[in-house]
Amino acid sequence: MGSTEEPAAAGRAQHRPLVAILSGAGISTDSGIPDYRGPNGLWRRDPDAEKLVTYDVYMADPEIRRRSWRMRRESPALRARPNAAHEAVAALARSGTPVRVITQNVDGLHQLAGLPGRKVLELHGTARTVICTRCRARSPMARALERVAAGDPDPACLECGGILKSATVMFGERLDPQVLGTALGVAKAAEVFVAVGTTLQVQPAASLAGVAAEHGARLIIVNAEPTPYDGLAAEVIREPIGTALPRVLARFG
């Protein structure tokens, strides 16, 4: 009997759960990128800043576009480096544990930390790319910012002359339905769902935590402030993300 039970026991020991991680602005604050809705967030300090990332206003007002390009040049996001939390996520994936990241961030730091792009679902797009609003051609943000630095305050698409914007989801734009659908599937399949650095107030991303819990995932919330989904969580952790997340993920590696 021992010969038949031991392989089964070994199989159980080797099982690694699918870990889904929903990351928000709080995971990147240690990298020097301020959040938007926290006590010191950008939207609270400068409510007018929302106009710079509101699609209809951006498209209609050349001055808003010029201000937006200046904001992109000054943004710390493209100069930021991954921190301990991003590194912990990438390390978990390298350990052989199935990992999928669903991120509300546009900074690309999960990929810079070494997580393969195919394992990252960017719900709100990426600030590292620009897209033409007319022909949909994509090109690196760095190249567009070089044109701004050279004296072009509102660079147009080099393919068709259309208006360029960051390849992020602006206010007034819909999330990519394919990305959102894939994220929903990940939430349903996850055995562990970690919501980190997110207030879980922006829909539909926030609802993924509830979907995961309803489908049997162990929900772990790592965030400085209470969230609407704390009552569904198996664990709620209020400690700093840079130390708490590596400790949490180490259990599954």
Q: What 3-state DSSP class applies to 26?
A: helix
Mark 126-146 as b/e (b = at least 16 C-beta within 10 Å). bbbbbbbeeeeeebebeebbe
Our answer to whether residue 124 is catalytic in this structure is yes
- The DSSP result for 72-108, as a single string, is HHH-STTT----HHHHHHHHHHHTT--EEEEES--S-
H helix or E strand, kind and range, residue 164: strand 164-168
Spatial separation of the C-alpha atoms in residues 74 and 70, rounded to whole Å: 6
Sheet holding 218-222, edge to edge: 120-122, 99-103, 19-23, 192-196, 218-222, 235-237
Beta-carbon neighbour count of residue 112 at 10 Å?
Answer: 16
From the CA atom positions of the chain, what is the Rg in Å? Answer: 20
H helix or E strand, kind and range, residue 2: helix 2-14
Q: What 3-state DSSP class applies to 161?
A: coil
**Catalytic residue (choose from 15, 86, 110, 124):** 124
Q: Please give the positions annotated as active site.
A: 124
